[in-house]
A and B are shown apart, each in its own frame.
Chain A
Amino acid sequence: MDNQELIYKYFQDTLTSEEQDQFDKLVREDIDFKEQFEFENNVQQIIKDKERRVLKDKLQKFEKEIKNPSDKKFLFWKPLRIAASIAIILTAGWYFYTTSFSIDVEKLYTANYEKYPNTKYAITRSSNSDITLEYRAFEAYEANNFQESIVLFTELKESKSPEYVDFYLAQSYLNNDQLEKAIALFIDISDDKKEFSSESHWYLALAYLKNDKKEKAINALENLIQDGGYKKVEATSLLKKLE
């Protein structure tokens, strides 16, 4: 293979391991090759830096929107503003219509519940020796196989108990309709100021909701809003719907 082809493949991430050896050897021994490679490598770094700056600017704009959501409304074109007001009146009307006749608790639950993602344990294909209890627990959890994840997290809790096991066990109970158990765990976690305590307030409220304990759900939401924690905006809007 000629030298140019090797450099080409390097930048395409398609060098085989033999080609990689040949490549490394040339970088060590052939000055022209080394120079050409370094030049192209610099080109790559330059472009990366430019593109990243563009992306970063975009993200900073999103941040501004998140932090000052009010800035945006002055940009609306007038007819659009009128249309928006009409839309708001219609939605508000629909809202009062639906809420004054029935609060469908189950719908509220499904609209608000989202399974908490696995942020603890990276699941990837790996050799058998890596498959630990924790791996199997999170694998079951990610696959929505909650009966199994309950068994595995419970087992994990008995052997070594990192704080987060309780949280994911509670999530599994909640999904498996074992609400009393979920509630007990969420109360435990949220009281203790442990990891996930803020998140647990939110899920506690949802667990009460699923269990048809409206007053308790309201109570939990009020606590969450007071603490200003996880999902505060969603909690405020859910609270309004419940009251």
Chain B
Amino acid sequence: MIKDPDQILFNELKNGSETAFKKVYQDNRQLFLNFAKKYRLVEDDVLDIYQDAYIALYENIRNKKLIALKSSLSTYLISVGKYMIMNKLRKNKQQVDNESLLAMVHEVDSDVETFDLIMGELNPNQRIMQKYFDQLGEKCKAILTLFYYQKYSIAQIMQAGNYNSLNVVKSQKSRCLKTLKELCKNNAKL
């Protein structure tokens, strides 16, 4: 059902190819802008939404929520984008006097309903924590990113980071978390 080039690009994205990351963005940009026209949003907003939708799709490919393509990449992008446009329209309530517009976007397409699509901003507490996160060593940042963002298992981290055993990874990970926790606590006392 899926065209081969799409499958190839999908596999390359899964493996983190930069070239594919650029190509898929460029190839679907015009299609997305045309699709979004009917919602009458400002052009800058539409581009912003396209980028967020693209990032969300990319993340769900990288963290293996999307394991096999069931539709084309562009179809997924449109589904994610639709969901994000809906959120945007809800925020700009003044524009949503048009009931039929809202009716077009009232639910998430089933192909992306399992995706993580929330692109929220950090709360003030998290923003402070982020500063301390930046103070962690590179090794810690890497291991935590692999685990919490890429959703690597301990075994996969062991392989990717050339660690000797599962236990080394586990204790390294908890040490990193502990350091971060302490950094936060010490600051809270001040």
A residues near B, CB below 8 A?
A: 8, 11-13, 39-40, 42-52, 55-56, 58-60, 62-63, 66, 117-119, 122-126, 139, 142-143, 195, 198-199, 230-231
Contacts and interface: CB of A to CB of B under 8 A. Distances in A.
Contacts, number: 107
B95 interface: no
Contact of B148 (A47, A119, A126): A47
B139 interface: no
B38 A195 contact: yes
Contacts of B130: 46, 49-50
B106 interface: no
Contacts of A52: 55, 59, 119
Nearest to B5: A114
B170 to A, nearest CB: 9
Contact of A42 (B75, B129, B153): B129
Nearest to A49: B122
Interface string B169-182: 00000000100110
B54 A59 contact: yes
A11 B25 contact: no
Contacts of B109: 122
Contacts of B29: 66
Contacts of B188: none
A194 to B, nearest CB: 10
Given A46-B126, A49-B130, A59-B25, 18 more contacts: A8-B154, A13-B65, A42-B129, A45-B120, A48-B149, A50-B133, A52-B55, A52-B119, A63-B47, A66-B29, A118-B71, A122-B110, A123-B1, A123-B111, A142-B72, A195-B38, A199-B34, A230-B30
Contacts of A13: 65, 151
Contacts of A124: 70-71, 110-111
17 contacts: A12-B151, A13-B65, A42-B129, A46-B133, A48-B148, A49-B130, A50-B130, A52-B119, A59-B25, A59-B51, A117-B74, A118-B71, A118-B72, A118-B75, A119-B74, A123-B71, A195-B38
A136 B59 CA distance: 30
